[in-house]
Chain A
Amino acid sequence: GAGVSQSPRYKVAKRGQDVALRCDPISGHVSLFWYQQALGQGPEFLTYFQNEAQLDKSGLPSDRFFAERPEGSVSTLKIQRTQQEDSAVYLCASIPQLGLAYEQYFGPGTRLTVT
């Protein structure tokens, strides 16, 4: 079946612009994660959803970052008033069930460049 998809794949924003990044997880997957990956680094956790509930947003770097998953499927990560330090690849991942140790299924990511 289809994997995790993300759009757009590339986004260039001028500093101060708002951006919205979309994630379509694998159908039926309960858990959804967002990660931020800076150049040359490993991904860093941003936020976690269990169905439509955002249970953990401890990794969001500032109040300019906002994520939602209103119907428990598609998720959107919004960044307001983008700054140059927001330039990174934003990865979305999903897992079918709760609790047990599962591999995370990652999308291809959205590369955000803030100029």
Chain B
Amino acid sequence: SQQGEEDPQALSIQEGENATMNCSYKTSINNLQWYRQNSGRGLVHLILIRSNEREKHSGRLRVTLDTSKKSSSLLITASRAADTASYFCATDERFSGGYNKLIFGAGTRLAVHP
């Protein structure tokens, strides 16, 4: 079963516009990560935000985390056609063996039109 749910499931915008994707999750977390997946390719890590952080930036990406609402958002500013991809949030549960197992949502499919 999947931990997170992304909203919206699909998003279509024009180049230069901003794209916002939301993620909700169910259990307490240590960290939340966002990944991007282009068609036919593997997942690429975008950003990690720790449970004690509220906001993080990386280039055109801005991630927020609200642990009280168990939700996160990913904002992509000034979008480009190359941003077209599926975006997944993933939470991790820390296990006693010292590893973090990622639990993914179903993803948001973003299409950026030139």
Name which of B41, B99, B102, B107 has the most chain A CB atoms within 10 A of its CB: B99
Contacts of B81 in A (CB 8 A): none
The smallest beta-carbon distance between A75 and chain B, in angstroms, is 15
Considering the complex, give the chain B residue whose CB is closest to the CB of A98. B98
- B45 pairs with A104, CB closer than 8 A: yes
Hey, which bits of chain B sit against chain A, CB under 8 A? 2, 4, 30-31, 33, 35, 41-45, 48, 50, 88, 90, 92, 95, 97-107
A44 and B106 CA atoms in complex are apart in Å by: 10
Known A-B contacts: A33-B102, A103-B33. Give 7 more (CB < 8 A): A35-B104, A56-B99, A93-B43, A101-B92, A104-B45, A104-B102, A108-B41
Q: How large is the interface on A (under 10, 10 to 19, 20 to 34, 35 or more residues)?
A: 20 to 34
- A101 pairs with B45, CB closer than 8 A: no
